[in-house]
Chains A and B, each alone.
Chain A
Amino acid sequence: MGTYIIRRVLQMIPVLLGATFLIFAMVFALPGDPTDGKCGERPCSAAYIAEFKKEYNLNDNLLLRYAKYTGIWPQDRGGEQKFDGLLQGNLGKNYNGYKVAEDLQQRYPVTAKLALVAIVFEVVIGIAAGVLTGVRKGGFLDNLVLVSTLVVISIPIFVIGALGQYFLGVKLGWFPVTVGSNPTFYQLLLPGMVLGALSIAYVSRLTRTNLVENLRADYVRTAIAKGLTRRRAVGLHALRNSLIPVVTFIGFDFGGLLGGAIVTERIFNIQGVGSYIYRGINNRDGMAVVGAVTVLVLVYLIVNLIVDLLYGVLDPRISHD
């Protein structure tokens, strides 16, 4: 177990470097000059541009810039050559001069909160729908859920988001239409539901399929033959096995949701990581985008590792030794 974790953590290093390099290369390949529009209606002065380019190493080639960004190559810091990058724990400053780490510190809790709301919806509604349809395969509810999940899966999230915002927010007034900078869980209910809608559909189908399959399993027959109630045979023996892949899916999905939800955050004006990245791309703010994505990749990798470890706990047949 211990060696497994160490191996996985070591494997993260090349993945993290590769992912950050790719995003680094892509962001700086975007057309447009980051100094455009920095100085109001008129072009910036040559001195300002020179200073700006020096500050952000924009005169170097891509590889050298990346090496400086990751901190494996020294860069000029107030006249001194210093290693000052990711390896030193520095995400750098965005083009407005704010520290990316501080920006993320402010925005990450919002995204995490939103992800949590979405996951709770997935778990509660998705699994409940999956169980109810799984035990009564072919019934009215089964068909209803089947059709509605199909609808949800085939509609893009910006449509669901906009419709939800209009009907539940504007027309019915049940939920706030947009969300402020420090949202409460209540304000995040509607965005969370929209964000989780697709996964609710997947979770309910995954649960249903696995439950239907496991209900036919020999050990469920054994459970009945042991004189257990049907409730216990289905709700404990069959469900416990059916939830193994579901929990795995939810875990990975949570990792993905922690990466922010650009569309949902934009629709509901949520000041999370997703909208931060969106703004970064729009403003050609490479530092902001790369910094945020680096953190997201790291979070995703860690969540993945936790899910893999959890898998071994859920299914004793899987061993990490």
Chain B
Amino acid sequence: MTTTTREAKAHANPSAYVPEDGLLLDVEDLHVEFHTDDGIAKAINGVSFQVRQGETLAILGESGSGKSVTAQAIMGILDMPPAVIPEGKIRYCGQDLLTMDEEQRRRTRGPEISMIFQDALSSLNPVFPVGWQIAEMFREHRGLNKSDALAQAIRLMERVQIPAARERVKAYPHQFSGGMRQRIMIAMAIALDPAVLIADEPTTALDVTVQAQIMALLEELQAERQMGLILITHDLGVVADVADRIAVMYTGRLVETADILPLYANPAHPYTRGLLESIPRLDQKGQTLAAIGGLPPNLLRIPPGCPFNPRCRMAQDVCRTDLPALREIRPGRFSACHFAEEVIDD
């Protein structure tokens, strides 16, 4: 999408105008807690990042690192309760989404920020035709009538390269393959030309060749519409070709953020290094694959000091007592490690 149409859209919705610097999303010191019977699980502990127009940010982390919770907090689809957001700001085009009233917030979902989920089969409603589900975006947000909305749905299905879209518009989700279903999710998410698209592990449920096709499609759509794309994944391989920047998460904190190439070349956090070493490589055939020992800590009882210290080979006394802050160690490179300089030069 060009800036002119984005501005035209801004006209229609005064809450959404893209600032000069293209800053779409500004997450600042976000905290999310889950109040459970066993206590308070601190899922997100002070996460800050920004997404600009046309930029792809990959959020990387293990299961339970808080990456999906971050996405759901931005979308406003967390179940509250049990989730609570005690602190933080999520600014979309300068406006804090967290202080908006629910009705205003609802109107941002779809036209401004939208989301693709991991498992397209369970994320699509099994009892409605796929075309109907895409058309629902136009009917509910734009007030289009049934046939116009369906025409738009067909157009989108063609855009995401679903063969014979016109014939398949009335088919149900279970009648599509996994890759085609994810394309339908994508069509639904981009239907109203959102400024920010969040993809939460969009290819995890798919086989490898289909993964590549879906990533290529996302990349293409993002370039075409100049969306800010947040790509959530645990798979370093998936993001390498697509992302501009990477934010690595661990126990609800960012431990490293960097542009993609420098991070791959020289990780600045032992956790990132561990993740990179655990990717199987063809030139290391026959060797034991390096893995990060241990498990992520229980979010109800995060250890004092650096949360990664029980699993870290470099851990010193200071790591067990002092929580390292995320600091800029090189221009554009941030790491939350007491020994970041040593790690990066290693």
Contacts and interface: CB of A to CB of B under 8 A. Distances in A.
Interface of A: 217-219, 221-229, 232, 237, 240-241, 244, 314-317
Interface residues on B, range: 20 to 34
Nearest to A216: B79
Which of B140, B172, B174, B185 gathers most chain A CB within 10 Å? Answer: B140
Contact of B125 (A222, A229, A244): A222
**Among A223, A226, A241: residue with most chain B CB under 10 A:** A226
A297 B108 CA distance: 56
A137 to B, nearest CB: 12
Contact of B114 (A223, A225, A244): A225
A189 B111 CA distance: 50
Given A223-B125, A240-B127, A241-B125, A317 B114 contact: no
Given A218-B119, A317-B172, A225 B109 contact: yes
Nearest to B107: A227
Nearest to A221: B77
A169 to B, nearest CB: 43
A241 B172 CA distance: 14
Contacts of B114: 225-227
B75 interface: yes
A44 B56 CA distance: 100
Interface of B: 75, 77, 106-111, 114-115, 117, 119, 122-128, 136-137, 140-141, 172, 174, 185, 188
A4 B156 CA distance: 37
26 contacts: A218-B123, A219-B124, A219-B126, A221-B117, A221-B123, A222-B117, A222-B124, A222-B125, A222-B185, A225-B77, A226-B109, A226-B110, A226-B114, A226-B136, A227-B108, A227-B137, A228-B136, A228-B140, A232-B140, A240-B128, A314-B127, A316-B127, A316-B172, A316-B174, A317-B126, A317-B174
A226 B107 contact: no
Contacts of B140: 226-229, 232
Chain B CB within 10 Å, residue with most, of A223, A225, A244 = A225
B77 A219 contact: no
B93 to A, nearest CB: 16
